[in-house]
Amino acid sequence: MLRRRLLDRLDVPTIAAALALAAVGMTAIASATSQQPGRAGLWKTQLAWLGIASLAAVVVIAVDYHIWAEFSLSLHGVTVALLVAVLLFGKEVGGNRSWLAVGPVTFQPSEFAKWTTCLAIAAFLAKRVHDRIRFVQALQLGAIIGVPMLLIAKQPDFGTALTFVPIALAAVLLGGLRWRVVALAMCLVALLAPVGWRHLKPYQKERILTVVDPGRDPSGIGYQVRQSKIAVGSGRLTGKGLFKGTQTRLNFLPAQHTDFVLAVIAEELGFIGAAGVLALFYYLLYRGLLAARSSQDRLGTYLSLLAVSWLTGQAAINIGMVLGLMPTIGVPLPFLSYGGTALISVMCGIGLIANVRGRRFVN
Amino acid sequence: MDYRERWELKEYQSEQRLGTRAALLHAVIVIVLAGFLGVFWYLQIVKGDEFALLAENNRLRRIALPPTRGVVLDRWDEVLASTRPALNLVLVREGLTDAEGQLKRLERLLGIPYDGLNARLQAMRRRPTFEPLVIKEDVQLADIAKVEARREWFPSVEVEQTALRDYPDGPAVAHAVGYVGEVNESQLAKIADGSLQQGDIVGKTGIEREYDEVLRGRRGWKLQTVNSLGRPLGSSQPGRDPVDGDPLRLTIDKRLQRKLVESLADEVGSGIFMNPNTGEVLALASTPGYDPNVFTAPVSRTTWTALISDPRHPLNDRAISSFYAPGSTFKVLMTIAGLETGAITPQTTVFCSGSAMIYNRKFMCWKKGGHGTVDVHRALVQSCNVFYYLLGRKIGIDAISKYAKMFGIGELSGIDIPGESRGNPPSVEWKQRIHKEPWYPGDTISVSIGQGLLAVTPVQMATMISAVANGGSLVRPHLARDARLESAKLPVSSGTLALIRDALADVVEEGTATRAQLGPIRVAGKTGTAQVFKKSVGVDADKQPKDERDHAWFIGYAPAEHPEIAFAIVIEHGGHGGTTAAPVARKVLEVFFQDRLPHKDAVPALEASLTARPEIRSATTPTAR
């Protein structure tokens, strides 16, 4: 009976939108890597990952979200333990110790941390008695978000750590923090910013300064931003055609199949392609909001809204980077960028939304 | 399902409040996505064409197609400078394995030091790998064969073709033709029309520089698709074909040029031979010379330092840029000035006792016993100083100045080689400007015999003596065959010139320059000795230390009756002009007149006896005196 209801209530539009985005991403990955030795078949790997991610999403949808919430803190605890393990035994890739190897499989616990964080916050907010966040609760929330975030920043993977910021903001907004506290926190951040600036590595400072002044060092740090903007801009209205982007194929564009995959789409499919991706994202996020509104309880609402916030924030950071509005920072575009763990993670996020949507009140 | 009820029990927050917050989130999403859409619109639609151009510029690189530099020919179309293909040995850095082994084997096989090569290889580490390391430029075929025979030792060594400027006669043409090299910053800045770019080969000195625009040609280009590393991919699009440089025909006669350099031998000096009627330069040399071929490939530091620090300054073109006191050769001009101003007539005589008291100072003649009574002809032939002391005192510095200037002394001759000097004109104004001193009457006396405050370049003297030879026209010396002929008729009477020419012929016949005699061809000329400050006084010139000896001059022309060739020769520290400079002139003139001279060999070579030479000899001999 449960199985039948699940099939009846499966949130097909949401899942379809997610799969559509993933399909666009795979096309772009295929185009971006077709000229790169040893990477030509990467889109197939991504397809395999999509299969695994879909399976994971099915598991997420199949289990009632109340049960997920019940075990949220345990799950979150396991993730935090994995993050600690990463720091101790992790595999270093490109200067970042963010990978954990289990047999032949390597994965990034930091990607799962986003999912468990959303789950844990939603459970925490739904469970409390008061409507507003109090001091103790603020500390508890801070621990839920801050611990994985700091562990990830320690890897050091500032890009992934940064994606926790929109989740935290959403938690505060949805949880109902007093404006006075918000103002106080902002003052604190403003005061601590110069201290943090001093702790940044020189290349990170360069990246931030490049956003302010794109002409800065056009062959160095500014190079990636500049080449990305050239790729996007030269796509014009209809693009250069799939597999015909010169910026992409001649390697001017950095990290074409991962962080800058949207630039590939914008170059080869033009404004129409870019607008299409934005539209798909909007539709997906709108479905999330819809799930929140029609949820049978607050837990469902919180879960959906947090998942929406996470995906929105991560997408915004990535697109902002591609368009040169944000510092160059390694954040994948949800569903589109190449990367198995990230895909599983966001599909599980979509799973939460579909889960809530599928268990809404039916009149 | 008790777990569900437990969650429902906690539903006491107003739905509305959460709804407002959800709406706020929705608004944020809409604003952010709409903002991104706007930026995409701006980049792709508003600025799209601009970025499309940038992408094209990224993708397509202009590859310069260098033109072939024009060939430089002598007057008989013999090659003085050309461009030849050359082979470079290069190390391909893509997929390079065992660099150390390959370089070490190269050291053993060809003797190219491993350390230097390895240092250069390390220095290239940041360069794109498709740029090869040039192991050796202009490598000999024998060396290439050695490498090719051991192909399996050198998987990454390849042969690359380039073009090099080639001067087949090397040092013999160095100062006339000049040399080429990579354009430098100042030249790039000067020529701002984009016809030059970094790495272009341009003329650095001599004819190569003067006629660089003719010889250089015009660079072409093609459009090549490249990747982000600049590596060429696929085919290229045609752009503009290069236009090769035009050939440049010179008036130089390679035979004379070679002979002149050979005759100057190890002396420091210079010589210039020209057609006195047209100004066509037949030979121009300065010694010591250098091999212009060393500049074609990037010059090694040691070669350059050696050339720069050589105390004899081999890079200087002494024929046009070094100036010396003209010594007695200046008496030619003094005679003209004296006759033209009317201060003397052909009949004027002076008694030379070996010295003369002028302005309470004793001025010596070079002949201790004196020349006795001399007229102007004898004074010029015997180079009597006393005659010219008195003449100088009579006409004064202004008249000397006027005639010197008229004949191009202290003026640029206008020869088409860069770097010409003006020398020091003999003038009151000049002394005041440079030395900040007034002109003393004694200065005039020194100038009268070509010493003192007076310095001339060999090319100026060649131009001056050409004017005497051609009947009074100042011609512009030039090396390019189609250069504009320039000549200015000077206001000098033919009688004056006839007297001088008669005397100059006698100088060779019986005077100070008998060593320039050339059998049936009558040579006219004047020797000169430019005084050099010396510590040893009263010692015979030939016994003085070399660097204290006077500079030797010989200027003149031939044949004396109908001059076809004029010349000026300076040998630094050569002592007497008649001893060292005159023989150089004779050797070159021998080549110039070889068809009209009797064969020197007592037993003519077989081929010579088969030619028409005997007839020529019999035909020309009667015209000789």
Residues in chain A with CB shorter than 8 Å from the CB of B22 are 289, 292-293, 301, 305
pLDDT on residue B127: 72
Mutation target vs B (from A230, A301, A306, A318; most B CBs, 10 A cutoff): A230
Q: CA-nearest residue of chain A to B225?
A: A250
pLDDT on residue B189: 76
In this predicted structure, the answer to whether residue A320 has a pLDDT above a threshold of 80 is: yes
Residues in chain B with CB shorter than 8 Å from the CB of A312 are 25, 28-29, 32
pLDDT on residue B499: 93
CATH code at B66-249? 3.90.1310.10
In this predicted structure, the answer to whether residue A199 has a pLDDT above a threshold of 80 is: no
Q: What is the DSSP letter of B546?
A: G
- Measured between alpha carbons, how far is B383 from B371 in angstroms, rounded to an integer? 9
First to last CA, chain A: 19
Could you tell me if residue A153 is inside a domain? Answer: no
Does A1 or A61 have the greater pLDDT score?
A: A61
Chain A neighbours among B 504-533 (CB < 8 Å)? none
Three-class SS of residue B188? helix
Query: B533: pLDDT confidence band, cut at 50, 70 and 90?
Result: low
B43 touches chain A (CB under 8 A): yes
Residue carrying structure tokens 């698709």: B225
* Helix residue ranges, H only, A133-178: 135-153, 158-162, 164-175
Does A309 or B536 have the greater pLDDT score?
A: A309
Name the residue among A47, A46, A120, A40 with its Cα closest to residue A79.
Answer: A120
Three-class SS of residue B487? strand
Write the pLDDT tens digit of every residue in B460-476: 999 999 999 999 999 99
Mutation target vs B (from A66, A127, A234, A323; most B CBs, 10 A cutoff): A234
Does A188 or A12 have the greater pLDDT score?
A: A12
Decide if B50 and A278 are in contact by the 8 Å CB cutoff: no
Element (H, E) at B157: strand B157-166
- Express as a percent the part of chain A with pLDDT over 90: 48
Pairing between β-strand B565-571 and β-strand B269-274 as defined by DSSP bridges: antiparallel
Overall average pLDDT of the B398-415 stretch: 92
Write the pLDDT tens digit of every residue in B70-124: 999 999 999 999 988 888 888 888 777 888 888 888 888 888 888 888 888 888 7
pLDDT on residue A318: 94
In total, the C-beta contacts within 8 angstroms joining chain A to chain B are 143
Three-class SS of residue B257? helix
Top-ranked range on mean pLDDT: pick from A13-27, B308-322, B419-433: A13-27
In this predicted structure, the answer to whether residue B563 has a pLDDT above a threshold of 80 is: yes
Write the pLDDT tens digit of every residue in A328-340: 888 999 999 998 8
B418 within 8 A of B205, measured Cβ to Cβ: yes
- Measured between alpha carbons, how far is B612 from B605 in angstroms, rounded to an integer? 13
Select the residue of B3, B22, B54 nearest A292 (Cβ to Cβ).
Answer: B22
Query: A213: pLDDT confidence band, cut at 50, 70 and 90?
Result: low
Number of domains within chain A = 1
- Measured between alpha carbons, how far is B501 from B403 in angstroms, rounded to an integer? 17
Top-ranked range on mean pLDDT: pick from A81-90, A227-236, B172-181, B562-571: B562-571
Top-ranked range on mean pLDDT: pick from A214-228, A240-254, B364-378: B364-378
Could you tell me if residue A146 is inside a domain? Answer: no
pLDDT on residue B45: 93
Query: B27: pLDDT confidence band, cut at 50, 70 and 90?
Result: very high
Write the pLDDT tens digit of every residue in B438-457: 888 888 999 999 998 889 99
Could you tell me if residue A167 is inside a domain? Answer: yes
Task: Residue A38: give the domain boundaries.
Answer: 2-72+99-138+160-358
Could you tell me if residue A251 is inside a domain? Answer: yes
Could you tell me if residue A248 is inside a domain? Answer: yes
Exposure of B120 by Cβ count < 10 A (0-12 exposed, 13-18 middle, 19+ buried)? middle
- Measured between alpha carbons, how far is A258 from A76 in angstroms, rounded to an integer? 27
Overall average pLDDT of the B498-524 stretch: 90
Chain A neighbours among B 10-39 (CB < 8 Å)? 10-11, 13-14, 17-19, 21-22, 24-26, 28-30, 32-33, 36-37, 39
Three-class SS of residue A267? helix
Write the pLDDT tens digit of every residue in B212-247: 989 988 888 887 777 766 677 766 777 788 889 999
A225 within 8 A of A214, measured Cβ to Cβ: yes
User: Which residues, 6+ apart, have CB-to-CB distance to B9 below 8 Å?
Assistant: none
B118: distance to nearest CA of chain A, Å? Answer: 28
Three-class SS of residue B231? coil
- Name B88's bridge partners: B160
B364 touches chain A (CB under 8 A): no
Could you tell me if residue A89 is inside a domain? Answer: no
CA distances from A166 to A170, A282, A315, B20 (A): 6, 17, 11, 18
B237 touches chain A (CB under 8 A): no
User: Which residues, 6+ apart, have CB-to-CB distance to B323 below 8 Å?
Assistant: B421, B423, B424, B455, B456, B457
Write the pLDDT tens digit of every residue in B277-288: 999 999 999 988
The CATH architecture annotation of domain B283-596 reads 3-Layer(aba) Sandwich (3.40)
pLDDT on residue B298: 64
Query: B392: pLDDT confidence band, cut at 50, 70 and 90?
Result: very high
Q: What is the CA radius of gyration of chain A?
A: 20
B229 touches chain A (CB under 8 A): yes
Could you tell me if residue A246 is inside a domain? Answer: yes
- Measured between alpha carbons, how far is B116 from B69 in angstroms, rounded to an integer? 32
Name the residue among B525, B582, B593 with its Cα closest to residue B269.
Answer: B582
In this predicted structure, the answer to whether residue B535 has a pLDDT above a threshold of 80 is: no
A304: distance to nearest CA of chain B, Å? Answer: 10
Domain locations along chain B: 18-60, 66-249, 283-596
- Measured between alpha carbons, how far is B507 from B516 in angstroms, rounded to an integer? 10
B292 within 8 A of B167, measured Cβ to Cβ: yes
Exposure of B307 by Cβ count < 10 A (0-12 exposed, 13-18 middle, 19+ buried)? middle
Query: B605: pLDDT confidence band, cut at 50, 70 and 90?
Result: very low
Three-class SS of residue A40? coil
B578 within 8 A of B554, measured Cβ to Cβ: yes
pLDDT on residue B300: 67
Could you tell me if residue A307 is inside a domain? Answer: yes
In this predicted structure, the answer to whether residue A219 has a pLDDT above a threshold of 60 is: no
B21: distance to nearest CA of chain A, Å? Answer: 6
